[in-house]
Structure 1
Amino acid sequence: MILCCGEALIDMLPRESAEGDLFLPAAGGAVFNTAIALGRLGAPSGYFGGLSTDLFGQQLCAALDASNVDHALCPRSAAPTTLAFVTLKDGHATYAFYDENTAGRSLTEADLPILPTSTGALFFGGISLVSEPAADTYAALCSRAGSRLVMIDPNIRPAFITDEARYRARLTEMLAHADVVKVSDEDLDWITGTDDPRGLLASEQGPAVILMTKGSEGATAYFADETLSLPAQTAQVVDTVGAGDTFNAGFLAGLAQASALSRSALTAQTVRPAMELAIKAAAVTVSRAAANPPWAHELA
């Protein structure tokens, strides 16, 4: 099982109506979307995060069930669900988060499960790496990964960071445990202050592969001694919501299909087909409104 650890929330999506502008509640969150996409692609998918028992928490659980995602490890509480009000401009989304004292943000180390032996990989990312105390809880879980493959997509939102020093320290610690890190050029510049992804690579500790996504320009995988670049797939873009999350899921699903969910298996030979699946799946997501990743049969 690939266990996706992080935020689940409700995206309040703008919709026009005869009565004026409305918002449609849709299940979302970067890590949640990755778990959904993994389940739809046929990979054994699990989700771990704090879920509310409120009506929005019930909506999130129903969405996980519908996409074959195991959420049995999730602690439930009566605290509210995180809400993210979405603004779309030219297909690109910006968010206003309402996250104080929510079920997801309130996650503590006491809520951490004993990882099942069936857990082959852990995925972390999104705003869950910022919001405390949950952020420290996910860092603790990451440190307990052992020999399991760890992938991180920091998906950095500078405006959401209130304590940069603490966030940088936490992210640095987690990156030291990661095998795969996915970044955009904006993420890379914020983390390293450079445009060279190799600065994140280390021979023994830290990432073995850096995946850099470049939208319509495709994606590149950086290894210690080689580089692999693949073009994007042509798509009619409706919006980019969930595209990066789908890419992450496609990559992990591709590794799972190749029985390559281990650090030692991360070679150009195994990474190429995983990237191809990631790019193909993401192209479907951007062609549809909101985060609506494809099912495996849609890619056949």
Structure 2
Amino acid sequence: MNTLPLFVSAGEALTDMVRTGPNQWTSMTGGAGLNVARAMARLEVPSAFAGAISNDVFGLALQASAQEAGLDPRFLQLNDRPPLLAVVHETAPPDYFFIGENSADQQFAPWNLPSGWDREVRWVHFGGISLARPPLADRLLSLACSLKSAGVRISYDPNFRKLMDERYDPMLRKMAALADVIKVSDEDLVGLFRTDDVRQACASLRALNPETSILLTRGAQGAEFHAGRQAWRAKPPAITVADTIGAGDACICALLYSLMHHPQATGMHHLRFAVAAGAAACLQTGAVPPTLDQIEALAPSVHVTTFAEGSPSCAA
């Protein structure tokens, strides 16, 4: 493999241990960083997941998942440290904790990535719990700063989890300042800014970097896209939902795909494509990213309207 990826997602790959019965657990490959990379590869964009995993049964399953998705294997680093696990002991509503002190993901070495990759890549995505777990968080922040200085575009999805308390605030500010696009859900905003006022939290996020574009997802209510002084709101198409796993990852990947391939298109076009991808991801059970054909089939059914920037939904 000589060509280098156009898209890289950096962060964590982990194993979800989900309680499925009184004494039953099911393991699933996941992690925000890996899921986003798989979703972009599904859109036939040369992609990679940049991160470290354990060299055991859990890590090898993650490696197999990355290979099946067609991700560039040179960006995946294996080591003998323990795996990172997310233990989901309740699913309705979700309740979980992480096991991963001094785990394999913390050994990620950006300096060992393929030579020249940063000159070929067009977008690099950051987010998830990787940015809340030092020393990995510091390495990723340094990498993001270096890429930004080199002119690479940065996307950022905080993907709020319970370990992102006040100690995460400096990272939120720094990554928001670097990002060309920020993807957040309404639940992310409530957690990150520790308020039930989603509109005020969105305004606080915009204040961290008025130049960035924000994709705000709101579940069944659809999504909003804020770019400069323009904003658009979209309602998802009427579908039969199998589950919502992976919808957010599909949504941000489709937005970035649209920005990469149709840079002259309007925000309305970008948002329609992103919302169609989120809806398409809900048509199948599990984290199965949608194909380009599936997204394009749903896009005409997405209703998008323009609203004035500074409106109550996300005041500047």
Match of 2:82 in 1: 80
Equivalent positions of 1:101-120 (< 5 A) are 101-107=102-108, 115-120=117-122
Hey, which of these two has a bigger chunk of helix by percent? 2
Structure-2 residue corresponding to 1:67: 69
**Between Structure 1 and Structure 2, how many residues are aligned?**
284
**Equivalent runs, 1:8-87 vs 2, <5 Å:** 8-15=13-20, 21-87=23-89
In the TM superposition, what is the alpha-carbon distance from 1:88 to its structure 2 partner? 5.5
Against the structure 1 CA distance between its residues 207 and 104, is the aligned structure 2 distance closer, same or farther, given a 3 Å change threshold? Answer: farther
Report the aligned-residue RMSD.
2.5
1:4 partnered with 2:5? no
Judged with a 3 Å threshold, the aligned counterparts in structure 2 of structure 1 residues 69 and 126 are, in CA distance, closer, same or farther, namely: same
Question: Is residue 226 of structure 2 the alignment partner of residue 230 of structure 1?
Answer: no
SS of 2:239's partner is: coil
Matches within 5 A, 1:181-192: 181-192=182-193
User: Relative to structure 1, is the Cα distance of residues 247 and 93 closer, same or farther in structure 2, using a 3 angstrom cutoff?
Assistant: farther
**Is there any run of 5+ residues in structure 1 with no aligned partner, and where?**
none
* C-alpha separation in 2, matches of 1:120 and 1:31: 17
1:277 aligns with 2:246: no
CA shift at 1:87, angstroms?
Answer: 4.5
Contact 1:31 1:125 in 2 (8 A): yes
1:178-212 per-residue CA deviation (whole Å, 9 max, x = no partner) reads 11111122333444555243443369x66421111
Residue 240 of structure 1 pairs with residue 236 of structure 2: no
Counterpart AA for 2:173: T
2:289 to 281, 293, 298: 293
Is the 1:211–1:222 contact (alpha carbons within 8 Å) kept by the matching residues of 2? yes
Between the aligned residues of both structures, percent identity stands at 31
Match of 1:151 in 2: 155
| Higher mean C-alpha displacement, 107-116 vs 93-102 | 107-116
Q: C-alpha offsets along residues 102-159 of structure 1, whole Å, 9 cap, x if unaligned? A: 11133356556654322101101111111111111111111011311111010112x2
Q: Structure 1 stretch 186-195 or stretch 142-151: which is displaced more? A: 186-195
Task: Kindly indicate whether the alpha-carbon contact (under 8 Å) linking 1:151 and 1:180 is maintained by their aligned counterparts in 2.
Answer: yes
How many angstroms apart in 2 are the aligned matches of 1:174 and 1:189? Answer: 18
Equivalent residue letter for 1:210: I
Within 5 Å, give how 1:116-195 maps onto structure 2: 116-146=118-148, 147-157=151-161, 159-161=162-164, 164-165=166-167, 167-192=168-193, 195=199
- Whether contact under 8 Å (1:53, 1:78) holds in the other structure is yes
The change in CA–CA distance for 1:206 and 1:60 in structure 2 (over 3 A counts) is: farther
How far did residue 34 of structure 1 move? 0.7
Q: In 2, are the aligned partners of 1:48 and 1:71 still within 8 Å (CA)?
A: no
Give the residue type in structure 1 aligned to 2:176. Answer: L
**Structure 2 residues without counterparts, runs of 5 or longer:** 1-5, 298-316
Q: Could you tell me how far apart the structure 1 residues matched to 2:214 and 2:104 are?
A: 32
Aligned AA for 2:280? Answer: V
TM-score normalised per structure 1: 0.84
Cα distance in 2 for residues equivalent to 1:154 and 1:183 = 7
Instruction: Sort the Cα spacing of 1:79 and 1:243 in 2 relative to 1 into closer, same or farther, 3 A.
Output: same
Tell me the secondary structure at the aligned position of residue 156 of structure 2.
Answer: strand
